[in-house]
Structure 1
Amino acid sequence: MKTTRPLAYASYGLLGLPLAMAALPVYVQIPAYYSGQLGLALGLTGWVLFLARLVDTLQDPLLGRWIDRLNDKITAWFWSAALILAVAFLGLWLPPVSSSNTMYLSLWLAVMLVAAYTAHSMLNIAYLTWGARIDAKAANHDQGLLGAAAWREGAGLFGVILASVIPSWIMSRPASTLSNNLLNYSLGFAAVLLIAVWVLLRFAPKWQRTKNTETVPSWRATWALMKAHQGFRQLLPPYFLNAISVAIPSTLALFFINDRLQAPSYAGAFLASYFIAAAIGLPLWVTAAKKIGVLCAWRWGMVLAILAFCSAATLGAGDIIAYLIVCIAAGLALGADLALPPVLLAKLIRQDSSPASYFGVWTLLGKLALALSGLALPALAALDYQPGSPAGPELAWVYAGVPCAFKLIAFLLLTRIKTEPAGVSS
């Protein structure tokens, strides 16, 4: 049986870089940018985020069904989604609307968010499905899954490092250079995205066609199949709760750094250290998964994350070194959250079971977690927190304490899963 070359895995993984670059600004930096730089009210920003993410959540299973029927149309799918994402990314950073016109600015934000979310989902669900089918018929299928995941998430972590450092640097520059720098950043992102799509389509392991799109079961039949899949049902609740525990800090990170730690000049360094630590931890978690099993490795990652964020809940103004340690520990734990859950899901899915439909539900829960995390902003507004003003302990507990609770429940649910899909560990 022919073995897939490492270069092919790398060609597959490259698209993870621009996808992560698009995800980080939307989830982390855009809320702070619109409320802090453009003057949109914090509560209104949070509700726009929630509603836009909710729209994105509902469409993912439909996109998954569509992708299952693509076959030879996969090239057009990737190119069209990439072009939409590139335009929406530019529109998010450079709204052609005056910041004094709150209604039109919030409407523009909503439209661009929906466009960015839709295009990102089109790419991401197809991309994950592609990875789940790599070496599907080979004897080393398990190693192929982990290899593809490692390259994908490794490239993604490099992407989030870029997306955390570059915008932070741009925001620290004189206001007169802001628009030009954001334009260059958006054009650079578009170039990287289009190159990554070209490399994927040209050099990655080929997209595995379904034998016959007519044999793809109906949505009702697929839904019944997923409901009857015990392993899939067991995995969804801890995945969803864990996703919430990651989404809330992502939404509030810059607010916490700026107004609780009162260290806005360190924002880029904090975010970079977090994602660099995740990049370092990623191969360690993959190695651990091969030795002790994916489920066990993911549980240990959760324990590390809980310890890190419990510590963060106690921090206040000036605790720069302590927060840097938290970022490194939480970043190491993030590697497990990124690489291991998709591998578990891929092993649960039979090759004839419309994998994109499963990933559509999977990403639906991830997006729903992000949508719910947007409600943290109006909740903080109700607690009298105002961006740009020193924040009290309420920000620390919403940023770190609440995610710890969700992570702990996810951990307890995950420990109830006694076995993992055959062949995941080695």
Structure 2
Amino acid sequence: MSAVPQSSPAPASGWSNAAYGMLGAPLAMAALPLFVQIPAYYASHVGLALAPLGWVLFAARLLDMLQDPLFGHLLDRSAQRQKRWMAAAGVVLAAAFICLWKPPSSPQAAMVWLVAMLVLAYGAHSMLSIAYLSLGSRLPEQGLRAVPWREGAGLAGVILASVVPVGILAADPALIDQRITWYCLFFGAVLALSLLLLLRQPAPPMMAQGERWGASLRALWANRAFRSLLPPYLLNALSAAIPATLALFFIEDQLQERALAGGFLAAYFGAAALGLPLWSALARRVGTIACWRQAMLLSIAGFVGAVLLGPGDRWAFLLVCLATGAALGADLLLPPVLLARVVTQRASVGAAFGILTMLGKLALALAGIALPLLSALDYQPGQGPSSSLPLVYAALPCVLKLAAFVALGRYGRQHAA
């Protein structure tokens, strides 16, 4: 049963918009280490073997993908307690995030610790993110001004998480533990403050419940255009997830530029943010599909260049980061636009975006298998340049991106958009 508001929602103030948007920063600060920095930290600093580490990441990310629909269903069925779920998820996320950076000294115990903390961190982050986006979808129309606050805060969080943890790990080993502690406490404080500001705001009115989950899925499966969009999206997401998982390994071993890792990541995400308005303008001129395919070609060009890099090629790799980062902006912007065009059943839009999110997480899970693959190719972290690392980090994503390019072209010929 949907709740009926007693009066029309008042226009959102600038303060309430900011209070909503600020949570985007700590969510982004947690997401980047969970998916990019933690694997390299446990391989290089804790000493876990590469192959089992990769399978742990695969299993944890697969669980993260599968639990999202359950969390969404739980939040739908207990919407009046959504703020309590958010507060609880925030506490678990802060604790698990801190514990991930404080593993036991024994590699065997550290592996068990990593599994437990990843399950808690992924689960809490997913619960908090789903509830956050659900709350945002119920803001009054004037509250749409809060979305730029959310995206801006998220960008700030990504850049901060790109620079600070990597800088700490590249500094004096004797200072790493103390500085990581201060960074984790800072993250916990930002998360607590953001949640406090958000949860003190009046809850937006509840929306009427749409179709049951099963009916929405059946309607989506009957939509041929929607089904045809999924393969290029998954291939493209996987082509981005593999280099994201291996980025720090490539920077530290292949380029021998550990101290510059934070700057490279910041350039990558900064280029993605700056590219958003440019891709939006290009899509209006040439069409969404043509624009996305051009971005794929830009990404392929960047990764082809990365295959040839070795120690000291810092400026060339900076160009790779800028090119592939700019292409990432199109990957973030254009798939939701295509999805909204092909899914015309209003009651199925939420389920459609849920499936898209699940495919993105499936790509991250599959990317974890890149670590056992590298291990089978005799790559060992911390041993310097390797002939296999550029192949898996850059050449394999090129092949996947090219397959996505072809699949998207076939989609465009069958379903003009």
**TM-score, length-normalised on structure 1?**
0.86
Q: Is the 8 A contact 1:16 1:156 kept in 2?
A: yes
Letter in 1 for 2:255: L
Tell me the equivalent position of 1:43: 51
In structure 2, list runs of 5 or more residues that go unmatched: 1-7
1:12-411 alignment, distance < 5 Å: 12-95=20-103, 97-98=104-105, 101-132=106-137, 151-201=149-199, 207=204, 209-211=206-208, 213=209, 216-289=210-283, 293-345=287-339, 353=347, 355-411=349-405
**What SS is found at the alignment partner of 1:209?**
coil
Distance in 2, matches of 1:86 and 1:74, equals 18
Range moving further from structure 2, 262-271 or 332-341:
332-341
Give, in angstroms, the shift of residue 347 of structure 1: 5.7
Give, in angstroms, the shift of residue 199 of structure 1: 3.9
Tell me the equivalent position of 1:423: none
Change (3 A) 1:73 1:54: same
Root-mean-square deviation (CA), in Å? 2.8
Q: Is the 8 A contact 1:309 1:326 kept in 2?
A: yes
The count of residues paired between Structure 1 and Structure 2 equals: 406
Q: Is the 8 A contact 1:52 1:114 kept in 2?
A: yes
Letter in 1 for 2:129: N
Question: What's the % identity of the aligned pairs?
Answer: 50
Letter in 2 for 1:184: W
Letter in 2 for 1:19: L
Distance in 2, matches of 1:208 and 1:77, equals 17
Letter in 1 for 2:68: D
Letter in 2 for 1:162: L
Distance in 1, matches of 2:189 and 2:59, equals 30
Q: Is the 8 A contact 1:310 1:401 kept in 2?
A: yes
Give, in angstroms, the shift of residue 133 of structure 1: 5.3
Tell me the equivalent position of 2:4: none
Q: Is the 8 A contact 2:138 2:207 kept in 1?
A: no
Q: Is the 8 A contact 1:241 1:409 kept in 2?
A: yes
**What SS is found at the alignment partner of 1:353?**
helix
Distance in 2, matches of 1:117 and 1:17, equals 17
Q: Is the 8 A contact 1:53 1:368 kept in 2?
A: yes
Give, in angstroms, the shift of residue 266 of structure 1: 1.6
Change (3 A) 1:272 1:310: same
Q: Is the 8 A contact 2:270 2:325 kept in 1?
A: yes
